[in-house]
Structure 1
Amino acid sequence: MGPRTIMVRKAPGHGNRAIVQFGQLTVPAAIGRSGRTVIKREGDGATPIAAMKLLYGFTRGDRIRFLETPLPMKRTAENMLWCDQPDDANYNRPVKAPFNPSHEEMMRSDGLYDICLVLDWNVSSRCRNRGSAIFFHLIRPCFEPTAGCIAVSLPDMKRLIRHMRKGDLVRVI
């Protein structure tokens, strides 16, 4: 069985909201505060218009239990970070604290990364300043825009992730 496609379409009338469709499931989502772009740059706040493979995910085991998914998942630890410093050799890679260059904390207090799926945007083949930490994660209240990721509610993520596999495509159009 080949990769399946998770479609992410701009929601009508909203530059930073989207509709995620995976098979028969359709759920609302938030995308980047700057909408979508075909020319992604570090810090631009836009979600890349692209087809990105699902690689693996992270989960906060202290908050999320019994997550059903065939997707490879790693338990988030307090020392887990993600480098977003373009001139660092670890750019767009997971790193461990202590780490001085710019980075994202994977164990966030706001719950956004309680379930965090890594998309293959600038991961397998990296280019400086092309964008980092493009994840499929949990949403902020009121569908607040992301920094370039795709975000859905916890109940919707639990419905979707049960069917997600490594290699499935997340296609932002």
Structure 2
Amino acid sequence: MQVFAASPSGWLTYGQTKVRCSIGKGGTKPAQDKREGDGASPLGVWPIRRILWRDDRGPKPESGFEATPIQCQDGWCDASIDPCYNQPVTHPYPASAEHLWREDGLYNVIVVLGHNDDPVVPAMGSAIFMHCASEDYRPTEGCVALAEEDLRALLKLAKPGDAVAFIA
């Protein structure tokens, strides 16, 4: 298993490679203390589940993981009391759900991480992804973000069983 480690210092390392990243605006916190909306990245090692990408913005990422094109109605439920909490949903959706089809490019490529998904526990954090960074690498809502070029390069190396770690 290969682990891609994201640190609060703004670097993600894998092997001998080190690339710039951003993490949650709330810094990092122990996974058991993570709460929906706190902006923190959960400390721990989270398996890579699958890839989503905007096929109108670039080719399918080269990777050993399942990759699914994002559709304009795709979302991810962040309503803690909803039965679909921390799961993909279709918009319009009756509860709070993030839109995955974004104009800002941050979700051109999304790597879904296995945080709070087996089992899903209400209010313990949803939609912890690895995704594209803003040009200024501003902090995320709890995810890890890389330049799209770096993210695509990392995915070429990633294999089933690999994971992303948030470290202190």
The TM-score, its normalising length taken from structure 2, stands at 0.94
Per-residue CA shift, 1:41-95, capped at 9, x if unaligned? 0000000001100000100000011531112110101111100000000000001
CA RMSD after TM alignment: 1.1
1:51 and 1:118 map into 2 onto residues whose CA distance is 13
2:58 and 2:16 map into 1 onto residues whose CA distance is 25
2:53 and 2:91 map into 1 onto residues whose CA distance is 18
2:154 and 2:40 map into 1 onto residues whose CA distance is 23
Pairing partner for 2:136 from 125, 130, 142: 142
Aligned to 1:155: 149
Matched, 1:168 2:162: yes
Q: Which amino acid aligns with 1:27?
A: V
Aligned to 1:15: none
Would the aligned equivalents of 2:74 and 2:89 in 1 still touch at CA under 8 Å?
yes
Aligned to 1:28: 20
Aligned to 1:40: 34
- SS in structure 1 opposite 2:24? coil
Per-residue CA shift, 1:19-42, capped at 9, x if unaligned? 111123210100001111111100
**Identity over aligned pairs, percent:** 33
Q: Which amino acid aligns with 1:23?
A: G
- SS in structure 2 opposite 1:74? strand
The 1:60–1:125 alpha-carbon spacing in structure 2 relative to 1, beyond 3 Å, is: same
Pairing partner for 1:72 from 58, 66, 70: 66
Matched, 1:103 2:97: yes
Per-residue CA shift, 1:107-166, capped at 9, x if unaligned? 111111100010001012111110000000000121100000000001111211111123
Would the aligned equivalents of 1:32 and 1:147 in 2 still touch at CA under 8 Å?
yes
1:93 and 1:58 map into 2 onto residues whose CA distance is 13
Which aligned segments of 4 or more residues in structure 1 are displaced greater than 6 angstroms?
none
Aligned pair count reads 165
Pairing partner for 2:57 from 53, 63, 73: 63
Would the aligned equivalents of 1:72 and 1:166 in 2 still touch at CA under 8 Å?
no
Aligned to 2:6: 8
Would the aligned equivalents of 2:5 and 2:13 in 1 still touch at CA under 8 Å?
yes
